[in-house]
Structure 1
Amino acid sequence: MTTTITKFAHLQIPLEDVLNATNNFHDDNIIGRGGFGPAYKGQLQRSGKLIKIAARRLDRTHGEGHVEFWTEISALSDLKHTNLVSIIGFCNEKDEKIIITTYAANGSLQEHLNNPNLTWTQRLRISVGVARALSYLHYDERRGYGVIHRNVNSSTILLDENWEAKLSGFEISIKQAVNRMDQITLSEPIGTIGYMDPEIGKTKGVTCKSDIYAFGVVLFEILCGRRAYIKNDANRLLATLVMHHYEMETLPDIIQPDLKNQISKYQISVRSLRIYSETAYSCLKEERSHRPHMLNIVSELEKALENALKFQPRPENFVRLFWLFCFSLCL
């Protein structure tokens, strides 16, 4: 472990600095709670600049999380992508284990699933961003290894001030040789209810296609405006619900109402919606071999976005039409 600490020494941040940044972990600064522990917003002085941060503080109640802590630091210190959260540093002092990352001003995707102001185009951009992040994790050959995330869900997808997706939550990720990403890595069924690959129980392990299944669930969360798992609901599991509606050709019945109104009102996204839903459905295929490659998913979602943008009314057109209308009144 001494070797590990030495390797990441440049990322260490004194506890005193973290306490000052978060106002001694004041409850008013809590921005989320996850399996790792609570996350706090704050402002940290780095290289002469005051920057906004998120500090995830390991909950040591059960004396666990040591491995997960170093797993996340190891992953984030190597990974650099516009759609991944960036590590600023960590604190490992006085029984405190804290991971400090860039701050996401708009919180997690989970908080906005049913947001009536989140447009179809914005939802598509978020989907494309996460898909690109997963493609980078799985197949970036320059890195020499791939990463199986194992924790893709709407709470680990963060949104910055521009609504750009930032994938986080690498504490249970697994590194794997790029040419072995489709091969089973033995693993306990760890993850979040509603997103877990059904094949894990059969094969006793995961592959990169396990991330693809979880991402398919997220895509339908974005489309339907509801969480993957609702404990006391008759349709607890979203994956089961959407598979049924897709196959019965009744998927419009469960699309987020405001989103459905946008599509109906502007008639801009029918083809975009079809490409998107077909892609999401293919990710949920029970057999891993039938699920698409991540690069294909990126390509299809980019098509869906391009199609939506092609038919999106432009502000300048509204201005032009307004002045033409005014001119016609003067004739």
Structure 2
Amino acid sequence: MVNLTWVQRLKVCIDIANGLNYLHTTMEDKRRIIHRDIKSANILLGKNWEAKVADFGLSKFHPTNQQESTINTNHIAGTYVYLDPEYAKTFHLKKVSDIYSFGVVLFEIFTGTLAYDSHYIKENEKGLAPIIRRRFKKGTLKEMLDPKLMEEAYELGFTGKVGPDHDSLKTCVKIAYQCIAKTQAHRPRIEEVIAGLTKALHFQISDKYITRGGSGILYNGKIQYHNRHSKVVVKRFSPDCYLNDTRFSWEHGFLKEFEVLFKHKQDNIIGLVGYCKEINEKIIVYENASKGSLDRYLDDTSFSWTQRLKICIDIANGLKFLHEGDTGQDVVVHRDIKSSNVLLNKDWKAKICGFELALTYPTNEVIKHVIDHVVGSPGYCDPLYWETNILTKESDMYSFGVV
């Protein structure tokens, strides 16, 4: 019912692994615990999607006087499709029996389906795990991934994608596959599982994800044309970012930014590379400003006075272009000039971005406008505009003065 992102799924997996690590570890005041019934139904989720291992009715304490890692049980306990096959055969219970069950849960999270789904049971009475093993060996496992994750990896018309990073996905699948090894000796320790999942999360966040802004999530990406690859920045507009501000919809933010960038091209305005406009997907692809936003460098002691002056001049030139309205173009009042809306390329050239709140009007109209709602960022907003709802181009100049 909920489309969890790849990052959210990874964090849930890491939470479960950390819970298992705690259970499996002997401490001064606690014995090791083998859960014996790890399955998705026994994982509870908090309001922020934090995962908690639950339902210890079948759990086994490891005897304090027993040094061996194996517990010999008199009967088998657990849920069939999640059950460690070696434990089921030999009655030898180990910590890695939980690891097997967790491996099945990992693949449930990756595929978006339960291990006992009817179409799995029809193919193999033991459910998801043997099918995963067969598909893995045939090299067709990717076809089983949750289609919603593939939607997240929406093609932008070129080769650039948002969604599961290749290295992140590969790392996750590898560790999960090791977890469902048929024999206990070939399964990883929980510490190795945590390390693998954490590495996968690092790949995802550091390689693609940049930040979550006021209108959506920014990703790094690449596009290909004329047999060349170019780095780009991708903004995926999100309705969630507008939940606390009913003045504008996410569609409005997308359309306004697209309109401004499509019609207004200048060296100090971030360049439009491409876009996606569908009912439930709004994406804008920008030229890459490799140094990121200005706010990151304000307290950098190596940020020289000359660099600062040149950046100020770049911003001023960008505003001059927006405010004067070139031939046949509208005047643009940005309404949200701030240091985080100024991007810097590899040569420290400044480019204005973030046009979701911009106001545009024909050059032959009177400059002064009365606005129904004041918009902008605290600390940068023109106080006269704030008090009177009267917006002029000079309101941008106030914000620029703060910058």
TM-score by shorter chain over 0.5? yes
Q: Tell me the TM-score range normalised by the shorter chain.
A: 0.5 to 0.7
| Residue of structure 2 equivalent to 1:227 | 114
| Residue of structure 2 equivalent to 1:269 | 165
1:127 partnered with 2:13: yes
TM-score by length of 1: 0.60
Q: 1:140 to 1:226 in 2, by over 3 A?
A: same
TM-fit CA distance, 1:206: 1.1
Separation in 2, partners of 1:202, 1:242: 21
1:315 to 209, 212, 217: 212
Separation in 2, partners of 1:308, 1:177: 41
SS of aligned partner of 2:82: coil
TM-fit CA distance, 1:241: 1.1
Q: 1:231 to 1:272 in 2, by over 3 A?
A: same
Separation in 2, partners of 1:318, 1:246: 39
Higher mean C-alpha deviation, range 174-183 or range 246-255? 174-183
Q: Is the 8 A contact 2:62 2:71 kept in 1?
A: no
| Residue of structure 2 equivalent to 1:257 | 147
TM-score by length of 2: 0.50
Separation in 1, partners of 2:182, 2:94: 13
| Residue of structure 2 equivalent to 1:117 | 3
Separation in 2, partners of 1:188, 1:231: 27
Q: Is the 8 A contact 1:138 1:181 kept in 2?
A: no
Q: Is the 8 A contact 1:157 1:167 kept in 2?
A: yes
CA RMSD of aligned residues (A): 2.6
Separation in 2, partners of 1:228, 1:308: 26
1:300 partnered with 2:187: no
Q: Which has the larger radius of gyration?
A: 2
TM-fit CA distance, 1:181: 6.6
Separation in 1, partners of 2:164, 2:81: 31
Q: Is the 8 A contact 1:188 1:205 kept in 2?
A: no
Separation in 2, partners of 1:187, 1:152: 20
2:73 to 175, 181, 186: 186
Q: 1:164 to 1:181 in 2, by over 3 A?
A: farther
Separation in 1, partners of 2:41, 2:152: 25
Separation in 2, partners of 1:315, 1:144: 41
Separation in 2, partners of 1:263, 1:141: 43
TM-fit CA distance, 1:205: 2.8
Pairing of 1:1-331 with structure 2 (within 5 A): 115=1, 117-177=3-63, 180=67, 182-231=69-118, 233-235=121-123, 236=125, 237-263=127-153, 265-266=161-162, 268-310=164-206, 311-316=208-213, 325=261, 328=269, 330=322
From the two aligned structures, give the one with the greater helix fraction.
1
TM-fit CA distance, 1:271: 0.6
| Residue of structure 2 equivalent to 1:6 | none
Give the letter for the 1:251 counterpart.
L
Give the letter for the 1:285 counterpart.
A
The Cα offsets for residues 17-44 of structure 1, whole Å up to 9 and x where unpaired, read as: xxxxxxxxxxxxxxxxxxxxxxxxxxxx
TM-fit CA distance, 1:248: 1.1
Q: Can you give the 5+ residue segments of structure 1 that lack an aligned partner in the other structure?
A: 1-114
Q: 1:180 to 1:215 in 2, by over 3 A?
A: farther
Q: 1:317 to 1:275 in 2, by over 3 A?
A: farther
| Residue of structure 2 equivalent to 1:57 | none
Q: Can you give the 5+ residue segments of structure 2 that lack an aligned partner in the other structure?
A: 155-160, 219-234, 236-256, 270-320, 327-403
Considering Cα pairs closer than 8 Å and 6+ residues apart, tell me whether 1 or 2 has the greater RCO: 1
Q: Is the 8 A contact 2:168 2:199 kept in 1?
A: yes
Q: Report runs of 4+ in structure 1 exceeding 3 Å deviation.
A: 177-181, 316-329
Separation in 1, partners of 2:211, 2:129: 35
The Cα offsets for residues 4-25 of structure 1, whole Å up to 9 and x where unpaired, read as: xxxxxxxxxxxxxxxxxxxxxx
| Identical residues among aligned pairs (%) | 32
SS of aligned partner of 1:169: coil
TM-fit CA distance, 1:142: 3.5
The Cα offsets for residues 137-191 of structure 1, whole Å up to 9 and x where unpaired, read as: 0014233420000010000000011100011010110111577473233141211
Q: 1:318 to 1:271 in 2, by over 3 A?
A: farther
Higher mean C-alpha deviation, range 312-321 or range 157-166? 312-321
